[in-house]
Homo-oligomer: A and B are copies of this chain.
């Protein structure tokens, strides 16, 4: 995987092109947000991002954040994922293969995984229904390896598993 620095400059170029194509500007605020987002690899929520914007004269208002993220999403730089928690998370998708998530309902840990087999079967299902898929999300919820050990999962679960 490329270094964050290189990734960041490519992402900025990509965003600039996207914006240009729509007669929009790569303003200092948009550029700062991009900087922050592409300086780390973890999932982030709007609140996190806003917090990170409050330091270093890098203040960007909530309104601007709410306006900018959908642009980055359309540009293919980030993706919103709903992990059935209380709020949406975003993740950097640029330079990353498509992947899906496992979420531990006990500790909140997010595990990313790729599975070509599943993707292929999805395509088959779509063909069968004459459906053109443009996007998909798969989320598995349950207990991670660590929580499985430390908690009495069997008691929590009863006999149900999905």
- B interface footprint on A111-144 (CB within 8 Å = 1, 0 otherwise): 1010101100110011001111111111111111
Q: How far is the CB of A133 from chain B (nearest CB, A)?
A: 4
In this complex, the member of A126, A134, A144, A161 whose beta carbon has the largest number of chain B beta carbons within 10 angstroms is A134
* Residues of chain B lying within 8 A (CB to CB) of residue A139: 136-138
The A contact surface, by secondary structure, is mixed
Smallest Cβ distance from A131 to chain B, in angstroms? 5
User: What's the number of copies of this chain in the assembled complex?
Assistant: 2
Query: Which among B82, B118, B157, B162 is the interface contact of A84 at CB below 8 angstroms?
Result: B82
Q: Is the CB of B157 within 8 A of A134?
A: yes
Residues of A bordering B, CB below 8 Å: 76, 82, 84, 98, 102, 104-105, 111, 113, 115, 117-118, 121-122, 125-126, 129-145, 148, 153, 157, 160-162
